[in-house]
Amino acid sequence: MIKILIDCFGGDRSPQAQVEGALMALEANSDLHLILTGDEAILRRCLEGRRYDSSRLEIVHAPEVIGCDEKPTDAIRLKRNSSMIKAMIMLRDEDDIAAMVSTGSTGALVTGALVRLGRIPGVIRPAFCPILPTMNGSIVGICDSGANVTVTAAHLRQFAIMASLYMENVFGIERPRTALLNVGKEAEKGDDIRQEAYRLLQETPCVNFVGNMESRDLLSGAYDVVVTDGFSGNVLVKTTEGTALELLKKIKKDIYSRTLYKAGALLMKRMFREEKEFMNYQNYGGSVLLGVEKVVVKGHGSSNAVAVCKCIEQAYRMEVSRLGGKIADEIARYEHFEE
Amino acid sequence: MIKILIDCFGGDRSPQAQVEGALMALEANSDLHLILTGDEAILRRCLEGRRYDSSRLEIVHAPEVIGCDEKPTDAIRLKRNSSMIKAMIMLRDEDDIAAMVSTGSTGALVTGALVRLGRIPGVIRPAFCPILPTMNGSIVGICDSGANVTVTAAHLRQFAIMASLYMENVFGIERPRTALLNVGKEAEKGDDIRQEAYRLLQETPCVNFVGNMESRDLLSGAYDVVVTDGFSGNVLVKTTEGTALELLKKIKKDIYSRTLYKAGALLMKRMFREEKEFMNYQNYGGSVLLGVEKVVVKGHGSSNAVAVCKCIEQAYRMEVSRLGGKIADEIARYEHFEE
């Protein structure tokens, strides 16, 4: 039985989406056991009249909620009875719990995970790895996307190792094509950190390093993993998301400007809905925090039930594939570099 | 008379687009005098049979071309007879020449400008400022987008001053709303450089500083200037460009997948063409190198004649508005900070 905690509050559609997503995941995976954290009375009300295997669903009462604008360090110190921190403490203390899923404050989740959960032996800095869809139907993982605003070349190499193992073990991508985000393709591009990382990655056989990538090629489908610092990774992910949404919004507005376009769009209704779904990052699962001892999956704040269910299944696959152990083994082979 | 040099080679559509764009700009601006650099015989052939005011168009023979894959430092040292470096030396040496426009290698252009042209007094680091269209029809300038992969807070403040003056003087945007690119809105987000820059920008009255901006809001129309280091600025610009192009390409492909969609798209043909034009960054002019003594405008490598003409007119407006002097005056007021 795989035990996973669900932080049921702090998201835009909490706790309905979390409860609904949990029931979907329970239904689909018979060896899954879920523990919901949050206000017990509210959670019970959400479950009323629903059919599910109650032997595989627990509720742990945690009435407080961490808001998105709270200072992470204060939140994790002062709100020990919040749905997020309660889950994190249980994850740390109970050996048979494998993972937690949260759609709450990213800052509190990262800070909490770094303070309360241990790192995988040898890992210097845990890092986020969200997934984006590419235009040829494949997916690409971006690591780091915000946990570390400054990095060294050794950190970047570890991000590459962790993200490659993640894409291979959780998404079945063999020898993921791994690139370093840079301002040009040539080896000498970028600052000293990038140039040094380029050299290190060339000397890392377990990473299928294919060179530098310019950000305009992110969605081309030519890459499976992109490695970068958390600042530019954050810019990369949010710009992609923002541009796609803004462009689709503009097209919609323009359609309404002329009757002719409205007529045309009527014929293409299904296509436009599919494009929107295609660019909806929720559909590709959450962003995992690679490098911490136990599995932590961060879902988008606006996650619906399907998105929450996908996050749970992602955490499940991470545990089943024993990703943490594989990361520890591979990192150990390069530990002498990491001073 | 405003004299501007056009580097006619090194772009994807050279030299036809350059010559054509020059003739368009000459026609539209009676006090413009243009000097084309490049292989004279080829340029003469392009001009054959065309009607134009020959007293305002010169050709300077420069038979070499700098390729996009050449090492910038070698190129500017060894190819003194190239269309780009010849133009740059003339720009430096001849007082009555105001500006140059190039669609050639960005690396060579930046390195050449930094080595051969002086900086405006007080400016620590010149920086690129390209323009993107926003979804409500306004434009936004991003500074720096690639000239400086590492920066200090003092640099970022200067970028804000230069880009604000540029957007105000060349595009008529009053008190441009200027934001710092960051991983979140709060003042304490980002690394030490970002936090220090936030403080400095709050203490800079000539900049209308509106706080941090997350990259997903770039195209919202809420900002006129975005300030950042050249690495993340490069990621920001190229990701926006790449996502928009890839998404439009995907929509086109999907349209061809079903007859129904093809029928719908037929009615919307004009709209799709307009969306494509809207997201075509060439239509908004080139990227200017702010902070060098004379005006340098870099057009997109794939610039067509209209795009070249827009770059020329941009250089013209920079000179007419005496932007360089205004930058020097404003920077001088904060010079004591720049140690």
Chain A residues touching residue B265 (CB < 8 angstroms): 264, 268
pLDDT at B88: 96
Compute CA distances A204 → A161, A308, A334, B2, B239, whole Å: 8, 35, 8, 56, 28
- State the smallest CA–CA distance between residue B167 and chain A in angstroms: 22
Pick the more confident residue, A336 or A168.
A168
∠ CA B195-B198-B203 to the nearest 5 degrees? 135
Query: Which residue of B lies nearest to A251 if distances are taken between CA atoms?
Result: B275
CB of B241 within 8 Å of a chain A CB? The answer is yes
Dump strand ranges (E) for chain A.
2-7, 32-38, 57-61, 97-102, 127-129, 131-133, 139-143, 177-181, 208-213, 225-227, 287-290, 295-298
Average pLDDT estimate for A322-326: 95
The Cα A240–Cα A218 span in angstroms is: 9
Contact A236 B240 (CB under 8 A): no
**Residue B338: pLDDT over 50:** no
Instruction: With CA atoms as reference, report the closest residue to A284 among A211, A219, A229.
Output: A219
Interface test with A, best of B226, B231, B261, B266 (most A CBs within 10 A): B231
Residue range B185-241, pLDDT digits in tens: 989 899 999 999 999 999 999 999 999 999 999 999 999 999 999 999 999 999 999
Q: In terms of CATH, what superfamily is B1-119+291-306?
A: Isopropylmalate Dehydrogenase (3.40.718.10)
pLDDT at B278: 85
**Residue A336: pLDDT over 80:** no
Query: Which residue of A lies nearest to B243 if distances are taken between CA atoms?
Result: A240
What amino acid is encoded at B38 in this protein?
Answer: G
**Quick one: pLDDT band at residue A335, thresholds 50, 70, 90?**
low
Q: B124-286, what's its fold?
A: Isopropylmalate Dehydrogenase (3.40.718)
Domain residues of chain A, as ranges? 1-123+291-320, 124-288
Token pair 């299904």 is found at A270
**Residue A71: pLDDT over 90:** no
Computed on alpha carbons and rounded to an integer, the radius of gyration of chain A in Å comes to 21
Contact A235 B181 (CB under 8 A): yes
**Residue A126: pLDDT over 70:** yes
From the list A181, A238, A274, the residue facing B216 with the nearest CB is A238
Average pLDDT estimate for A170-188: 95
Chain A residues touching residue B146 (CB < 8 angstroms): 183
**Residue A337: pLDDT over 60:** no
Q: Comparing B1-119+291-306 with B124-286, is the CATH topology the same? A: yes
**Residue B336: pLDDT over 60:** no
**Residue B60 token pair:** 């300077």
Residue range B78-92, pLDDT digits in tens: 899 999 999 999 999
pLDDT at A278: 85
A49 Cβ contact partners less than 8 Å away, ≥ 6 residues apart: none
**Residue A197: pLDDT over 70:** yes
Contact B183 A219 (CB under 8 A): no
**Residue A317: pLDDT over 70:** yes
Q: A124-288, what's its fold?
A: Isopropylmalate Dehydrogenase (3.40.718)
What amino acid is encoded at B185 in this protein?
Answer: K
**Do residues A141 and A213 touch, judged by C-beta distance below 8 A?**
no
The Cα A243–Cα A265 span in angstroms is: 21
Instruction: With CA atoms as reference, report the closest residue to B296 among B21, B12, B106, B93.
Output: B106
* DSSP assignment letter at B80: T
Residue range B116-143, pLDDT digits in tens: 998 999 999 999 999 999 988 899 999 9
Q: Where are the alpha helices (DSSP H) in chain B?
A: 16-28, 40-47, 72-78, 83-93, 106-116, 153-171, 192-202, 230-255, 259-267, 269-278, 305-320, 323-332
From the list A236, A249, A251, the residue facing B239 with the nearest CB is A236
Q: Give the β-pairing of A2-7 and A97-102.
A: parallel
* DSSP assignment letter at A138: -
Residue range A266-309, pLDDT digits in tens: 888 888 888 888 888 778 889 999 999 999 999 999 899 999 99
Q: Establish whether this prediction's ipTM goes over 0.85.
A: yes
**Residue A118 token pair:** 């241990």
User: CATH assignment of A1-123+291-320?
Assistant: 3.40.718.10
pLDDT at A339: 43
Computed on alpha carbons and rounded to an integer, the radius of gyration of chain B in Å comes to 21
From the list A190, A239, A250, the residue facing B215 with the nearest CB is A239
**Quick one: pLDDT band at residue B335, thresholds 50, 70, 90?**
low
Contact B267 A263 (CB under 8 A): yes
The Cα A211–Cα A227 span in angstroms is: 11
Q: What is the pTM of this model?
A: 0.93
**Quick one: pLDDT band at residue B282, thresholds 50, 70, 90?**
confident
Chain B residues touching residue A264 (CB < 8 angstroms): 263-268, 271
